Amino acid sequence: MQWASWSAFFNMGGYAFYVWFSFGLTALCVVWEVLSLRKRSKAALRLSKILAQG
Amino acid sequence: MAIKARHKRFILIAIGLALLGLAAMLILNAFQSNMVFFYTPTQVHKGEVPHGTGFRIGGLVVEDSLKRQDDGLTVHFSITDTAKIVPVVYKGVLPDLFKEGKGVVAQGKVGPDGIFVASEVLAKHDENYMPPEAAEALKRAQEQGKTVVMP
Amino acid sequence: MSINWFKYSSPQTFYPLAGKMIPWFAGLATILAIAGLYISFAVAPTDFQQGEAYRIIFVHVPAAWMSMVIYIVMAGWAGLGLALNARLSAMMAQALAPTGAIFTLLALVTGSLWGKPMWGAWWVWDARLTSELILLFLYLGFIALQSSIDDPRRADRAGALLALVGVVNVPIIYFSVKWWNTLHQGSSINMGAAPKMAATMLMGMLLMALAFWMYTVAVALMRVRCIMLERERSADWVKALSTTAGGKS
């Protein structure tokens, strides 16, 4: 292990803002993309169902 | 509805064209002036740099050349490309990676006394990544190699 | 043999196939990302000149690689769609563009977050950074152009032309650090040369890159399924799908 303690890990040698912002933003993009695609897929299926029935 | 769709299309086409135009402008601008991001000290000595306007100069910080003035902000150091040396003066905060013997890019103008007055100093690091112990071992090996070569 | 290809190149057969593939790629991406993150933060040592700030490399470089790889693949699908007049190819190109744009944006932003503490600047107009920014505009231009044309076939053709013209930018990005003086450092990994990184650091970076790659396949398949449903709304297979399975699979 590289870290003496959890606080040392979160501190990232003083670069906490830059490192965690980078990883956090990446995670946020991934989550947002997956959720928005799920929503889009559901909406498309719902609409085609209505079209098929009507 | 039809008008709305047409409006939407026009707006999107306008955005698309604006983006393309912006991209083309950036490309042209980049190719004209910024492809040469910095000049070397040798080019400065030969006079192959823009006159009158500011430019960037890049190279390594000469070992033992860094001197701080009493105000604590103004620093003097020299940049070299191992062939020529250009003295630099800069007033401001240096980046974390600024070190003697390491890469640097400074933006500014050459003063009448031949000293480069920098308005911005950036550190340029290399593409090597290794743990400190490995860097230390490498350095030691190189120094030993040197002493072996030299009688 | 070629019959199989044509069978899977029609949306109604590809739709359920893609649905079966998504969980596999998503699962692979998750496993690879967990392993990659573990190596990036727990195994890889600190760097001799940049300290812990270098750990941004574990998202920055994979994102930058994907931004270029996705563009090439997207242009390939778009070109194939243009040449063969194939619907599915054009849909694949359309499905890849947003993910490529996201990775380009991530490469730019994480690069900026890395540049500030190390170089001393959020942004500089050097060849590497400028050409990567142009890549973002190419993606956004492709997306805007496609959505601005109502007729899907015409939209595909126009988009394909833009995508193909933009391919020249990819080698410019890649070789910019060799061709010109840049503030951005050179590549740590080069063909035919030993990598300029410690083995565990390299391992973390490669695992994260693979995770991003699998993720890209999964979300591109998810998006292409949406595009199929939206574009072929009136087709019999979509009608059958939405009434029989209740919208599942």
> What is the average pLDDT value for chain A, to the nearest integer?
91
CA C70 to chain centre: 4
Region B135-142 average pLDDT: 82
pLDDT of residue B11: 78
The answer to whether residue B26 neighbours chain C at the CB level (below 8 Å) is: yes
User: In the predicted model, is pLDDT for residue C247 greater than 60?
Assistant: no
pLDDT of residue B1: 46
In sequence order, the 6+-apart residues with CB closer than 8 A to the CB of C150 are B5, B9
Per-residue confidence band for C1, with pLDDT thresholds at 50, 70 and 90: very low
Query: Which of C106, C44, C215, C66 minimizes the C-alpha distance to A24?
Result: C106
CB contact under 8 A, B5 and C150: yes
Q: From the CA of B151, how many Å to the nearest CA of chain C? A: 31
- Tell me which residue range forms the domain holding C175: 20-44+52-186+196-244
The answer to whether residue C4 neighbours chain A at the CB level (below 8 Å) is: no
Contact B107, B120 (CB under 8 A): yes
Residues of C44-68 as b/e, b for ≥16 C-beta within 10 angstroms? Answer: bebbbbbbbbbbbbbbbbbbbbbbb
Q: Is residue A1 part of a domain?
A: no
Residues 25-64 of C with CB under 8 A from A: 41-46, 51-53, 55-56, 59-60, 63
> What is d(CA A49, CA A38) in angstroms, rounded to the nearest whole number?
17
CB contact under 8 A, C127 and B96: no
User: In the predicted model, is pLDDT for residue B147 greater than 70?
Assistant: no
pLDDT of residue B149: 41
Tokens matching residue B3: 């008008």
H or E element in which residue B48 lies: none
Top-confidence residue, A23 or B150: A23
> What is d(CA C151, CA B15) in angstroms, rounded to the nearest whole number?
19
pLDDT of residue A17: 96
Query: Which of C10, C24, C4, C7 minimizes the C-alpha distance to C222?
Result: C24
User: In the predicted model, is pLDDT for residue B112 greater than 80?
Assistant: yes
H or E element in which residue B106 lies: strand B103-110
Count of structural domains, chain C: 1
Rg of chain C (C-alpha set): 20
Q: What is the 3-state secondary structure (H, E, C) of chain C?
A: CHHHHHHHCCHHHHHHHHHHHHHHHHHHHHHHHHHHHHHHHHHCCCECCCEHHHHHHHHHHHHHHHHHHHHHHHHHHHHHHHHHCCHHHHHHHHHHHHHHHHHHHHHHHHHHHHHHHHCCCCCCCCHHHHHHHHHHHHHHHHHHHHHHCCCHHHHHHHHHHHHHHHCCHHHHHHHHHHHCECCCCCCCCCCCCCCCECHHHHHHHHHHHHHHHHHHHHHHHHHHHHHHHHHCCCCHHHHHHHHHCCCCC
Q: Is residue A19 part of a domain?
A: yes
CB contact under 8 A, C137 and B123: no
> What is d(CA A29, CA A42) in angstroms, rounded to the nearest whole number?
20
Considering CB atoms only, which of C45, C226, C233 is closest to A41?
C226
Region C198-225 average pLDDT: 96
User: In the predicted model, is pLDDT for residue B21 greater than 80?
Assistant: no
The answer to whether residue A39 neighbours chain C at the CB level (below 8 Å) is: no
Its pTM stands at 0.87
Per-residue confidence band for C189, with pLDDT thresholds at 50, 70 and 90: confident
- Tell me which residue range forms the domain holding A45: 6-53
Region C223-239 average pLDDT: 89
| CATH of B41-124 given 3.20.190.10, 2.40.50.140, 3.40.50.300, 2.40.10.10 | 2.40.50.140
Count of structural domains, chain A: 1
Per-residue confidence band for B73, with pLDDT thresholds at 50, 70 and 90: confident
Q: Give the mutation candidate from B128, B136, B140 for the C interface (greatest C CB count, under 10 A).
A: B128
User: Nearest residue on chain C to A53, judged by CA atoms?
Assistant: C243
Give the amino acid at B73.
Answer: L
Give the amino acid at C46.
Answer: T
Tokens matching residue B68: 């701080």
Q: Is residue C216 part of a domain?
A: yes
Region C110-126 average pLDDT: 92
The answer to whether residue A36 neighbours chain C at the CB level (below 8 Å) is: no
User: In the predicted model, is pLDDT for residue B136 greater than 90?
Assistant: no
pLDDT of residue C75: 95
Q: Is residue A27 part of a domain?
A: yes
pLDDT of residue B8: 75
pLDDT of residue B30: 65
Considering CB atoms only, which of C223, C239, C240 is closest to A37?
C223
> What is the average pLDDT value for chain C, to the nearest integer?
89
User: Nearest residue on chain A to C30, judged by CA atoms?
Assistant: A30
CB atoms within 10 A of CB B92: 12
Three-class DSSP category at B123: strand
Per-residue confidence band for B148, with pLDDT thresholds at 50, 70 and 90: very low
Region B63-82 average pLDDT: 89
Per-residue confidence band for A52, with pLDDT thresholds at 50, 70 and 90: confident
User: In the predicted model, is pLDDT for residue B35 greater than 80?
Assistant: no
Give phi and psi for C37, each to the nearest 5. -70, -40
> What is d(CA B60, CA B83) in angstroms, rounded to the nearest whole number?
11
Per-residue confidence band for A54, with pLDDT thresholds at 50, 70 and 90: low
ipTM of the complex, rounded to two decimals: 0.93
pLDDT of residue C83: 86
Residues 135-194 of C with CB under 8 A from A: none
Per-residue confidence band for C248, with pLDDT thresholds at 50, 70 and 90: very low
Chains in contact with A via at least 3 Cβ–Cβ pairs below 8 Å = C
User: In the predicted model, is pLDDT for residue B53 greater than 50?
Assistant: yes
Considering CB atoms only, which of C44, C102, C226 is closest to A33?
C102
CB atoms within 10 A of CB A19: 26
Domain chopping of chain B, boundaries: 1-35, 41-124
Taken as a whole, chain C contains a residue count of 249
Query: Which of C243, C102, C146, C203 minimizes the C-alpha distance to A50?
Result: C243
